[in-house]
Amino acid sequence: MELAILSGTGNPALAGAVAKSLGVPLGNRVLSRSPDGELRVEIQENIRARDVYLVQPTGPPLDRNLMELLFLTDACRRSGANHVTAIVPYFAYARQDRSLTGQHALGARLVPDLLRMAGVGRVVAVDLHTTSVESAFSIPLEHVSAVNLLSKEVAPSPRDGVVVAADMAALRMAERYGRALGLPIAIVAKVRLSDEEVVARNVIGDVRGRTPIIVDDMIITGATIEAALNAVGTFGATRNATVIASHGLFVGRAAQRLAALPIERMLVTDSVAISSDLTLPLKIVSLTPLLSQVISRLHKGERLGDLLGQL
């Protein structure tokens, strides 16, 4: 069964790099909009009986990219693809995994159901926000991690460093970075007041006189990073911080907020397309090696093993 790689407009540069790494051309497709905004998708090559991998993060604009993924999947199935795997480096709506009042939509359950109905047979996602998401999938989910890729960019780590989980949800990720870098960890206890406002209540662990390496799964508005850096600074950490996140969305006031903080360097992956206009000490680490290995192993029927994240 031959391999085919296609993408939407979510991050065609990443999709092209993955296809090139695997030695296959990026598949031809046309995405267009009718005057009233309806999406139209056409596959323009023969993918009948092929093993298709759709590389399409659902980053901003979330709904447009998600709809493209659904339509691409349906078009592939109708074109005779034998199997469709959705490679979704950034998986939107994963934070909507519970309804505190019983009156909220559960996006973390709805989106996987939509993908299944469209014809996706398997989903690959990178560093999901929460450990509870896997139970929402009625189709196989491969949860892989960029921690090893990003850790290599930090090494050698500062001797006086401390890995700081930006909040309790990032604790497991901080533990993995701590092991990889040979550093102790600390945790920031935060309270989210709104999408743009976060307050840190406490820091668990010793950060006094240490160089903080703040880690989180994603940076959206930068509010969590701001609260974490302010908190460790209050508890005596040095001001030359490193920030690491698997996904850099940088929406709203993120650029201005982060530029005002004592950040020496910031590392994110190219899970979503990132504007070149950002004036931040930013290094973008490509997911191409990771995703290429994932696709190659899945296509050959091999286990992912060391590539998997810890759900």
Q: Which residues are catalytic?
A: 190
Is the N-terminal amide bond of 89 cis, ω within 30° of 0?
A: no
In angstroms, the CA 22 to CA 192 distance is: 42
Distance CA 234, CA 213 (A): 15
Question: How far is it, in rounded angstroms, from Cα 244 to Cα 50?
Answer: 37
What does the DSSP assignment read for 247-271? EE---TTHHHHHHTS-EEEEEEESS
What angle do the packed helices 12-22 and 288-300 form, to 10 degrees? 50
User: Would you say 164 and 207 are in contact if contact means Cβ atoms under 8 Å apart?
Assistant: yes
Exposure of 256 by Cβ count < 10 A (0-12 exposed, 13-18 middle, 19+ buried)? exposed
- Matching residue, tokens 């994963």: 94
Query: What residues contact residue 198 under an 8 Å CB cut-off, 6+ apart?
Result: 190, 191, 192, 223, 224, 226, 227
In contact, 99 and 75? CB cutoff 8 Å = no
